[in-house]
Structure 1
Amino acid sequence: MINVTPQLIEKYHLGQCTAAEREAVERWLADEEMEAFEPPQLRRDGDELTRLWTDMESRLPVEGGQAAGNLSHPAKRRWLPAVLLSGAAAVVAIILFLWPVGNDEAVPEAVPLSVLDVPPGRKAQLTLNDGTLVHLNGGSRLEYPEVFGEGTRLVKLVGEGFFAVAHDANRPFVVDAGNTTTEVLGTAFNLTAYPDESHTLLVEAGKVRFEVKSSDDTRIVNAGQGARWAKSGTLVPIAEIPRNRLAWKEGRLVFNNHRLAEIAVRLQRWYGVSVTIERPDLKTMTFTGSFAQAPLKTVMDDLAFVMQFHYRLSEKELIIF
């Protein structure tokens, strides 16, 4: 009599048996009195392996109202799934399908971000999910989550923004401005982070940690003070916030001994026009004054009178000469 072994069962499934071997295997499968053998050993925990075989058996197709794997002999019941499937490779495939993927933690879903772009000549105000109030100046961009999670409250800023941060001791509020980061728990501060300017932090209330990413230079800035990221990569302290420096969020344009070249940049963002200074000697002239909700022509008339220059103003272009 031919002895039925796991190797012979494998040959049977692959169609490699002789007629006599095939007859012996089919007689073994049909005869519950014949001696059974144990299934091949896999490198898995015993209890978990038993569960997997049982799970696989339950997935087998039903024939004649009875599951094909529902055999009375326990060893045959454990082995039959491997016979009915596609050999050893199929057994591995099913185990990979049923087996949990290691102990890796599930990858958290990315938090969707909203983006607010404020064009030059405009300003915007919004309240974030945590109650933080944000004012954005012209030419600014803010990326923020619709709902803050349990950890750090992170937003990204390009341009200028004033933040009145809702206090939350367990969730620091961080503004990523590219080259610098600003971290607070709850306070009010102004951050200027236009791409073509040094980043400037001015703290109106509370305390803020200001850091340069490239050098790890960090400074704690208290209320009424500020710090500027210099081109050298270091932080320069500002002992006192310039008078009316934060008036922009109230619609007031303020200059404190600003050079005309600096004023031109502010006018471009404030009114959404391109500004060209044709006389180089005018660029270093300075001006002090403020304008509340004033049209551009009013501002230019005052500047031209004080600095003694001429200008041409069209819809989107200002030329100073």
Structure 2
Amino acid sequence: MTKEQLTDLTAKYLDGTATAAERKILEQWYYSFEGEELVVELPEGEEEDELERRMKAGIDEQNAKESRRKRLLMHIKPYRMAAAVVLVLTAALLSVFFSGRQVYNAQQQPRFVVLNDGSRVWLNSATKLVYTDFPFMGERRLSLTGEAYFDVASDPEKPFIIQSGSMVTQVLGTAFNIKAYPDEPFSVTVTKGKIKLEDKKTKIITFLTPNKQVKYANKQAPVMVAVKADMAYSWTKGQLEFYDQSFEEIARTINRKYNVNIVFANKSLEQCMITATFEKESPVTRVIDLLCKINNATYTFSADSSTITLEGKGCQ
């Protein structure tokens, strides 16, 4: 380094305008000095001893900063490692969560699905099912909105629990139909095995065996009746079978299946109770025509066929 370069770097260092690279060059030069005469052309007003003192103080300060930075990095590294471990664990848990959680939707048409545990489920139209089965859980938990027929794979170590609003259905291995559409009567029908049904609001617990149906309607006490169970899930085969259901409830089923709105001009028609069976994939005109004949009603379609209006004295 020439005398001029050294003088220039020294002046920059002292007034704080030296770059990081220039400071490093000067500091390396200073600590390589081994008693040889230090010859620097001083800025005006500077004494050599004072210059050396200031330079040493500045260099020591820079070294202290570097030492503090290294110590800080040493403290930060464990936190970085811990953060990395947390990220890995989070990723692993998310992987388990998404692999153990399945969401199924059926829109206009029924849908058949097989769950991770081997259980088979038929979803009716306008139905949503969320299935959760984590390795560390002692149960298989589901949430159902709509209607579904379940053929549950047996696993005594993991009960099969279905939540539908306030109603909780628990089984180990059996087959049954649940109807749990919003604003409609809730019902469960068992075809084989045995289930436990609990209403979380009223704390009422009911046990059902094959060909038994329990129904909650209009906030009344549950009613259990003997039924021909296969009628409850005939919809899985594309059929329409109604057993002692109100015309209003049947109208909602027709709306979901055929995407047609039904309007009751005479409200008394809504409460007519009906038992009827229709061939597979019967057209909506045949279904409505027969329902109206057995209930002393007439019907008309709107111009775009999206709405059916029912009139008549009905069953009263």
Same fold? TM cut 0.5: yes
SS of aligned partner of 1:315: coil
Query: 1:240–1:82: structure 2 CA closer, same or farther, 3 Å change rule?
Result: farther
Q: CA deviation at 1:123?
A: 1.6
- 2:120–2:150: 8 Å Cα contact kept in structure 1? yes
Separation in 1, partners of 2:167, 2:53 = 79
**Is 1:309 the counterpart of 2:292 in the alignment?**
no
Separation in 1, partners of 2:82, 2:105 = 47
Which residue of structure 2 lines up, in the alignment, with residue 117 of structure 1? 105
TM-score by length of 2: 0.65
1:24-39 aligned at under 5 Å gives the runs: none
SS of aligned partner of 2:146: strand
Which runs of no fewer than 5 residues in structure 2 stay unpaired?
1-51, 312-316
**Is 1:86 the counterpart of 2:86 in the alignment?**
no
- 2:211–2:228: 8 Å Cα contact kept in structure 1? no
User: What whole-Å deviation, never above 9, does each CA across 1:74-127 have from its counterpart, x for those lacking one?
Assistant: xxxxxx999734276555333433468999x9452232544332234x222122
Separation in 2, partners of 1:261, 1:83 = 81
Q: CA deviation at 1:188?
A: 0.4
Query: 1:139–1:94: structure 2 CA closer, same or farther, 3 Å change rule?
Result: closer
Letter in structure 2 aligned against 1:212: D
- 1:253–1:292: 8 Å Cα contact kept in structure 2? yes
Letter in structure 2 aligned against 1:236: P
Letter in structure 1 aligned against 2:250: I
Which residue of structure 1 lines up, in the alignment, with residue 194 of structure 2? 207
Q: CA deviation at 1:229?
A: 4.0
User: Which of 229, 236, 261 is the matching residue for 2:222?
Assistant: 236
- 2:184–2:217: 8 Å Cα contact kept in structure 1? no
Letter in structure 2 aligned against 1:297: T
Separation in 2, partners of 1:299, 1:187 = 32
1:215-254 aligned at under 5 Å gives the runs: 215-229=202-216, 232=219, 236-241=222-227, 244-254=231-241
User: What whole-Å deviation, never above 9, does each CA across 1:22-75 have from its counterpart, x for those lacking one?
Assistant: 69x98xxxxxxxxxxxxxxxxxxxxxxxxxxxxxxxxxxxxxxxxxxxxxxxxx
Q: CA deviation at 1:274?
A: 0.7
Letter in structure 1 aligned against 2:283: P
Separation in 1, partners of 2:273, 2:157 = 46
Which residue of structure 2 lines up, in the alignment, with residue 193 of structure 1? 180
- 1:207–1:223: 8 Å Cα contact kept in structure 2? yes
TM-score by length of 1: 0.64
**Is 1:271 the counterpart of 2:258 in the alignment?**
yes
Count of residues in correspondence between the two structures: 246
1:72-221 aligned at under 5 Å gives the runs: 84-86=67-69, 89-98=72-81, 106-107=89-90, 108-109=93-94, 110-111=97-98, 113-120=101-108, 122-144=109-131, 148-150=133-135, 151=137, 152-221=139-208
Q: CA deviation at 1:239?
A: 3.8
Identity %: 24
Structure with greater proportional helix content: 2
